[in-house]
Structure 1
């Protein structure tokens, strides 16, 4: 060879071929044993194609030097003339130092690779048994085992088998080895063999036909006495045979060891007998076994010994495996076990742990096994011990989305391939990704990553691990699993009879109709029907947990019919966290939310988005509405677009309210009911303001283009101005305008009147949506006064004619739409009226009290129970609001905190200012919040507004569920309401009436 320092062409070519130490490689090529082939370019190209060309060349020199003079020419000639053999041999030498060592000790074993041509690439168990047949002692068995392993590795590194086929071949080789070891143990103790029957059951990866190159082989031993033998002595004989088998495989000899045989998955683990009878196994599993033991048994497979006994064992334990999901806390136990595995990884290794770490192989395996055990009770297609086969079955059955399954499949294959190549290098049991640069380079190249092997390997590994972790969390901790696990066996695939019985047991009022819905949804062989059969048993339970299960199921059918051809719908319910439960709660809570959803079924997507139920800001809502109006070509189309936004946002608000209220397990006293009420009030008020702004824009554009002849503002008053609207509230408003420069006042007034009329017309167009009524009766002079005034007219009126009630109405005035500057000037105008300096005189206080008493006596509907009327009844909304407003009018001039349109904020400010004790403030707040929640509940349940509790028993129960009262506690709910409002009335009598 030319001296490398002279930059010879050979030296450069070695570098380009992937050698990291070309100087040493050049010396190896100068070895005498390679004299006849060293100049052959075919050899150098073949070495360069291996995972580690330096390692491959070193192994080749050792192999050539170990040949006899007679055998060496055959090796060298084959290397240059037979490409399949050359690729297999050099591929192994470049990937496995341990197999190179084996070939150096047994230099003729390379010839075992010659037989595996295209016609015979995938040997099975019979071929491996023949390969081990001549081994009559442990040393010979190890040599024969490595020879077979050599052929598996050669096909693996050359890509003629994929990772799943390689794992299956390794499991077949392990099975053949166990049989050979048992044959040796039997030959060594024929008297023991004559006394007993012994079956070897493979567990773990061997049982699942997915073994690693180096792994413990998990087994369970089952023994029985032959006829006429004493059971105790037979079990002793079987134990000796089993122990001998384990030693043959596990002990280290001059040829190393094969692999440890681990029997710790047996009943009682290390503390239990090594061999048990079949009846003893069954007794243990039926009485004492833990959840993880059934998970392990999922892969049990008889592999050696007495075939009939092995088959009996598998047949006996299989039903127990597929009943395991019915155990109490089954899902939680499996999840806890997975977390415990991760917690036990040393901190220094967790980021390199390919098998047990987050995003590792075990994440895939646990997720697949849990899904199998939950759904496999009634679906035998899931009964596979092989991870990838089970994953494909889960996808075919609709239990896992196809895209998720494909991503898991690819990630699992990549991670298993990494694991195989890491172990193949030195045939050591490890799952840690190496840290050494040379090891990473060899690993990357072995996986086909050649440009930047280390960087590409790390990138691909992290990407696949991230996918596994995300999908593991999505599938393994999916709420549906625990719910499905609680169902009786067979109910995850609903037969008509089973469904009818369950419907009756769950309390459906019309089981026949409900059953028709179920059959319509779940019949057939389509993927959609398969997913529905998975979802429906769980949904049935959630519907039954409501006051109206029949309505929930009917609503689900309607939504499913509307979205049945939409690819994301069922996938969302199956995969996305609590989406299915959220939908069940919403559909069974009353009429309003389902009616909204029927008109906008795509809003189901909000239920699967963690941020989907968060209320949107006023600015975002107004911008969307105005944009939609701007795209419309008529006022009618514009308001229809605004209504579409309103419909979706009302559903968002109602769904969030129902899920937070109806779905919570907290008692009424434990909920933050005030926060729930505030969220609804803010959301509905903001949405109403945005809708009115849209109607205003449409009305102006249709008559005047972009600019109205007069500046125009809408002022919200009452609950609207206080951000306290409920689902059925009208929008109380005032209208104010101011002529633009150069515009005649009469023309401006006519334009303002016209735009109001057009807004009202557009908003009152027939629709199935909840109505949005604009009420201007709180304007000066009430219904007798003009609908709209100029700012100066308002000022003149309030200066000369304003009554106390009108000042009180202005306490909740706030601009909501139109000209912002004009609206703010209106607020500046009315502040002195609503917050009068030095407060109210005695005459004004008496007038307010008189008006309140008159309202109580005249406006309460005839026959209404004054203890249950939320607005005008004892301790209801009116009582609390008038009390707070009186405090505002008396003290807001001196206490800035009272200058708010919101009742609860004003109440809190009054307490902070020392105007009422904390206990009384809390009593009033609780009563106002409760009355508001009842009004919201009535609208949600009945689909129309109401100020008192429903008389229909089912509707009343639904209101109770919304308020946090389980079935059968309606009486307690009414008692609590009366008690809360009675206490509030006592505070009102003291603070408002001065009693």
Structure 2
């Protein structure tokens, strides 16, 4: 058929489209196609004949396919002539296709180009059939999953065959002692594992191998672990890297044991041990869909069998509902924080809630009913209906909603081949989406979508959400009275009398606060919805404060928060709908102005007030690691802004938990500092991993004598409060970075740099991520002045350079600082080496001028930092810097370590003052009485310091308050005189 005949049919179809803007857009796309096809030697117009209406549907739904058709017109010809647009393909189609396509390739760049072109052709076929409803949903997801399987299988095989001549083939001994070959097995997780991949999905993978051992018959012998790590890195690069030809799949490895900080590949024994000893509830959910998608299927089946007991309990397990409630609430917080209510996957009534409904019943009953050990969501929903767990109507509602939501997800992603589930905001994209979903316009589409999401949410809420208490008649009546105070024109005398009658401690001041807020410009210019919410909130707030001690001051602190969210009154709704959260807000604002200010600065952490059990019980370090990992897993690795915001939310939320527990007496000082230190350590670990991945993507992996390394040869050394496990609220981090790479070697990327430059830029990236101010603030202020040569020194030095500096050039005060040094993040192997270097240095400090140097440094600090340098005033006392304060105790501990480390190795172990003092007592180097007195004084000073911070007060106390510490000061001064001055 001629171009003119096809074009006539095209124009006729375009004229029937409902929007002039859409007609213009499609005609522009058509002109692009005509230009591209006319330049081609192929007669594309002949094969297009009869498919014009299908092409229009594709152009309406996908600019990405239009680009593919322009660039690769041959794909359309080949697909039509093979009948692949009009018919289904066999399940092994892509396996055979890639086996042929990659068979004779011996160049990595050609491999990468070829596999990407195969992906473009596959996407053209799948999107064409999906938008024209020529394929049911599950066929579409199956085809995408099968292409992923084939891509991983054949690319892995290609790289494996080229690694073996150099590194040998991995082997391990079988039970008979015979050496047998080993191969890598790839687990597909999530939608890939369930054969439910979406159009622009990343693929979640876990790499495993059966047994540890060594390679054989290569130029060099390495461990199986090292070989498979190299293979995994090559596989990821070939699939994930964005080139001129696009990408194959975005590869996400964060579901592996230990996440980004874990090894890239693990043996069966190691992975089984991890899940048995450390596996979390959310990892049970993830493992439901695990599937061997590449590698030795028989050995892979053994692994799946080994992991079954972790996923499915042998009893009916209702504990998973609470775990699911927490997991969903975490997602809800993220949705609220990012304004993702229009996310059809994570938002209310979205795809994730349908998945959760199925998975929670799988975990509850799957151990007893093995039929539920099924990766397919639709199959599980059918089984749940057959078993009477879901009603027929619930099953049908979920099925209908899932189909429509997944079709919507595909239509959103087909537009630009982007991994998103957000509904479009511009009118043209909305029109295109509605037409792709068979609706005549956006209004009819969104009405259908909202109805289906509401039905899903209702089923989900019935399953997991606890019900709030009803409003009492007494509360309702009291709130009515406060509404009059807030809304009516009331005289000052009348209003003050009401505040006085219910027991406000300063009724006139309380009324002034309310009156000022009501008359403020920000309140007077509120939109109607915001005004209505505020009119509901203020009476409830005043009711809550009626029986509160210090009611007026507490009101003032809460109103600081109200003013900060006056344009985002959804936070007020959160408090009104969660009585528990409202009550905790009052309690914490009453206890601490510092907490009220933190809530006002970052109101998003109000979410933390909902769950009282977690609010006053901060998690330990392992739980923190686990929670942060869950947070970060839901964010694409290349979305740096979202990752940074998530880290800041995590930090702010958990610092709030520690402060809440401390001010209410649920957590003693020492534990509070422990938890604040854990938070910093977990964040540092994560930030180093983030920075590492960004640097590797840009420069490749640093190399040592054995080739590229798969994880950073870097440690972060904490000094001061961080090293001494004594962090407080608002503490900065004193840190030093040390690496252990060969500075004469280079990275292996396209843009190579030497290892020293790589690690310098890695550290710069870490500092940037930590200190950049975002809408949620920064993470921490970073102080790196304790590195060798201070501010003039290199940002990161090698361990050898650090050691040489400490031996040859370090001052006594730098050795004092080293007493408090401790590795807080990074390579475990390098940590061990650093610890040995630290202990050796502490044991070799010259004694001749040690005491005088320490005493002189203390005098200099007092002269510049003490509030009472002469030490002759009893009514002024700086808890830290004045004579008899915390620094005196710290200096005595540091001096003792430097003095006795050579003779007593136990003195080199600890970096915190309390355990150093306890070691002095154990070794009989200081009397029991003196140690106990110093420890008690140190704790008292620190407790008061924390209290001052939480009350926004200076740590320099005066007047009668200073007198309260005089006894402790005298004791510390006396011991200082005996232990230090008398020795000089």
TM-score, shorter chain, exceeding 0.5: no
Which of 1 and 2 has greater Rg? 1
